[in-house]
Amino acid sequence: MRIGYSHWGFLGDGITDTPDGGRSHRKVLVDGLLAGGHDLVFLQANRDETESRSPVAGPYKWHAGLPEVDALFLEWRWRIPGRNDTACGSPGHTCDLHRQQELLHHYVHHLGLPTLLWDKDQQLAPDDPLRSAGNVTVCEPALHPRCGARSLLFPLADEAVDRADTRALAGKERRLPLVYVGNQYGRDIAFGEFFAPAARHFPHAVAGKWTDTARWPHVNFLGRVPFRQGVLLHQEAHATVLLAPERYASSGQFTQRIFESVLAGCAPITPAHYRAAGTVVPDELHAHHSTHVTGITHALTLMGVAERARLLDRCLRRLDLFRLSRQLDTIHAVFDHS
C-alpha cells in the first residue's frame, strides 16, 4: 500500500525551539511501516532539511503536491492563533494547517480515500464531521479514547523492550533525585499538586517550555533543551513524574515520557488518579499527592541495585502495550477494513 503521511515534525533530533514530541517515536513508526512492505510519501515540509539542516538518511520521500496514494495517514494539526492561521508568507507563519486542509479536500472529500486521523493531542472537536465520515478512522494514543475513537498508542520499538538491561540501568550512578522533561501546556494543576512541592526537598531540574512560573520560584527551570539533553536528564535521574493535562489523565493517554524514562532507568512516578495507571505503572509508583512523590523519590535514592532492577523489570513488562508490532496491527486493521 502507498500511504501519504502528513506530519509537522522531525524524523531526527530537530531543533530545540519546538514542541514536537514525536521525535521519540515517529521514525520508529515510519520505519516499521516501511519494513512491512508499505511505500510512504511525506506530504508536509521536510523540516529536518529546511529547519535543522540535518536531513535524515533513509528511504524517505517528500512530495509538495498531491501524489497518487492508496491511503492517507494524518498526524492531526489544529489551529494555533497567530501561527498557522495567518496568511502564507507572513512573519512567524507555519503552513501545516493550510497544507492539511489541502490534503483533506483532495484525498478525503474528493477522492474518498481510506484515512487514519491520529489525534495525538486530542484536539479534534467531538462534533467534527470528520468523525462520522465513512472513510475516516479517528485514533487517539489513549487506552480509553474519547468520542468513539480507536486506540493507537505511541509506538516503542520491540527491540528496545527486548534488549533493555534493567540490571545495568539500576546500577547506573544518578546525580538528580527528580526531573521533569516536557512543556507546560495544560499541566499547571498537576505540576503544582505533585511536582513543585516535592521539588523543595531534592535537587531537581525541569526542562521544557514553561513561561508562567512565578508561582514556583524554588523550581529549577532550565528552559527548552535539545532532544538528546532531555534523554540525558532521564538517564541522570532517579525519578520523574508523569504530568498530564486532564484530558490525557481521564482517557489514559500516556505520552512518550513513559518509555523515555523507563528505558533510561528513571522511575515514572504517576498520579494515582491517572486512568489506567495500574495498567502502565506498578502500584508502588502511584502517588496520591505530593507527599507520596517525596516519599517515593526518597526511597528510590536509597534503593539497592537488585531491588531497583526488579522495579524496572515490572515497569518494562508494562511497556508491552506500546510495542510497535501492536500499533502496526492497529494500523493494518484500520486500512484493511476501510
- Domain ranges for the chain, please list them: 2-155+323-336, 159-321
Q: How many CB atoms lie within 10 A of CB 172?
A: 13
One-letter identity of residue 129: P
**pLDDT value of position 19:** 63
Among the CATH numbers 1.10.287, 3.40.50, 1.10.3470, 3.30.460, which is that of 2-155+323-336? 3.40.50
Q: What is the mean pLDDT of residues 49-70?
A: 94
State yes or no: pLDDT of 300 exceeds 90.
yes
Confidence of residue 18 (pLDDT cuts 50, 70, 90): low
Residues forming beta bridges with residue 118, ordered by sequence position: 75, 139
**pLDDT value of position 23:** 82
User: Going by C-beta distance under 8 Å and a sequence separation of 6 or more, which residues neighbour residue 173?
Assistant: none
Q: What is the mean pLDDT of residues 159-166?
A: 97
Digit-coded pLDDT (tens) for 192-227: 999 999 999 999 999 999 999 999 999 999 999 988
CATH code for the structural domain at 159-321: 3.40.50.2000
Residues forming beta bridges with residue 150, ordered by sequence position: 139
Which of 169, 175, 156, 176 minimizes the C-alpha distance to 310? Answer: 169
Which of 205, 221, 201, 204 minimizes the C-alpha distance to 213? Answer: 221
Confidence of residue 36 (pLDDT cuts 50, 70, 90): very high
Whole-number Å distance between alpha carbons of 297 and 274: 19
Least confident of 36-45, 80-89, 311-320: 80-89
One-letter identity of residue 6: S
Residues forming beta bridges with residue 204, ordered by sequence position: 178
**pLDDT value of position 142:** 98
